Structure 1
Amino acid sequence: FLENKNIKDLILVGDDSQQVSFKHDSKNALASSQVVRTLYEASVLKAAGHRLFIIGHHEGYLGPYFVRSVLRKLGFDNLTANCNTVVGPRMFSNLVLKSGASNVGNLFLTLPSKKTSQVKDLPLEDALQKNARRTQFLIKMPDAGLKLIEDMDYQVFMDNVVNFEETRFNQAADALLQAEKESLISYLQAKDVKTTLAELDEIDYNLFKKVMHEPFLLFPEGSRSYTDKQGHVTMKYVNPRFMEAYLRPGDVILPVNLVGGSDITNGWRLSPANLGLSVGKPYEVSASMIENYQVEGLNVMRTIAELPNIKNVTFNDEIQAGNKAGLTGLS
């Protein structure tokens, strides 16, 4: 109901800036658009076993909700019907957003960057930090670990993986190749599995088992982008560590540029507006990209900003460097 009432139209913008209207153009025009063809390409990669990270910017508090909503509207339930969304606590801080915040798929709650959001309650910050480490540990886990999760119930996993002891682990992980075992053991030890997953409960374990191969929605800004009076968008500071924290070699990034969310969620009341969607070519993450995450994480956001859309989206190096002096008219 909220979508039908508040989204006037969805405009698909191709890499040649050609615009296709969801409401007014033909089904053939939609199906042949660059946006839909690229989403099919991402679907093929997912079907081939790649984990897909749909990465976007945060124009409007409901960024994850609108991305999920428009991809489903275009017929890509396979990408978003059961997707996972990494969010910070701010997603739940505004009652107006309650409906949208509850419709972003399976939530992985994390602690926002201290450069963008300060948590003043120390016990809450500690709890969020522990939760963020669990989130990152599970999402980043090598395929060998995901294979064990597929085969193990909760208690077996806790006894043989979390409460790690090498002889017992080797027996429980007998189905893995030796190289897989060695890689997984290195990961478990480097990430201090006993401490990090000590409070992992059975409900979360079983949910993760169900959704661990589903696409992830990731919005690295942590809070909504700046907008000016003309409606143009400037990204906020981005902590590039998201690439090192969540992605693995072989994962696929799908850059998404969705605008119009701030027009709909401007103030305390929702207002009808157009959404514009452009999608970049999906590409595979390499080990060297993760090693150089401080550069490559920002390059993801630059790629998103460069996608044509019905509004201008800008990645500003001055903002990224922490210098807003001379930048006026942004809110």
Structure 2
Amino acid sequence: MVRKTPLSNSSPTYYSHGFVFRAIGRKLGVSDALKKSFRELGWTPDPPEPDVLIYHAESRDSLVIECKAQGFSPASSTAQQGRKLLGVCAEPDIAVGSPKGTGEAYVVYALPLEDAEEQRQTLAALNGEVAEAGLPYAKSGTLGFEITDGGLWAELSIPDATDGSTVTSVCKRVWVTDGDDGAARPIYLIPYDPTAVDNQEPEEKEYCTNLLVQRVLTHAMSMLGRAEVPDFVRIHAHDALREATFRVSDYWQASELGKLENRIARILASHLNKGAFKGKIQLSGNCVEVHLENLGAQDAILAMLHKARTEVMAQAMLDPQLALNEVDS
């Protein structure tokens, strides 16, 4: 919708209207005055960390997007996050760094289209609660997704958006990708997200993790295949993840990113440190160093990667014990 992928045949709708992808998991700015108000209300002053931030350079408007598997009511525990987002985004100059007096920060909940209308009602109720607390609130709406008519579609709806504004130009139903009910998957720019994996169905979790491993192996094979032997080849997990996400990880600010890179490096090193390469693979931080002594070694390690059982490596990516070790370290 907002970023081209290797398989894109045309510019995504939001991109063609001037919207660009800005960040994932970015902490929003909160003014000292608003933090004080939050404390007085018994709310935590911690800054919200929405899932996605999309920016329009000309208008300086931002779409502050929070992704949910389903809608929620004003009485749910999730609603408190919504109240804070609405209050924080009412100060876009501080929340997202827009010059004072320019642009707006719209709070948008991405969820199934069938839940969108009720979610907008929830947002309207939350607006009233925030106003009763003596705080201003940002304009808000929904981004509803639906699989129908041979593909995946998205529909942005922000009822209070100003007529003729940049945001209203994309408040419509847009195509995301082809497919039917069982195969309308978009191109996963981030195939595996450790912040969301617990909310995925087992089948989807397996698919996404396998996809990440396949892309990491492709990057490793590229690095090793282009080496002029004899050589020491250094495969950095940061670079592997960057290539596996089509450079989107550069914008990813979630604290879990470092752990994911560490996990990628450890699993890759463990897979390579076998047979003739036992002892010739060194793991240093998030970097895997491979000693290629000659062309035969280069051919052998490429064959090893080509034959790799991605499902086994993917399962290791989800190993709870590995996560425990990361916490301990």
- The verdict on a shared fold, with TM-score over 0.5 as the criterion, is no
Which has the bigger relative contact order, CA under 8 A and spacing at least 6?
1
Choose 1 or 2 for highest CA Rg: 2
Q: TM-score, normalised by structure 2?
A: 0.26
Q: TM-score, normalised by structure 1?
A: 0.26
Name whichever structure is richer in helix by fraction: 1
Name whichever structure is richer in strand by fraction: 2
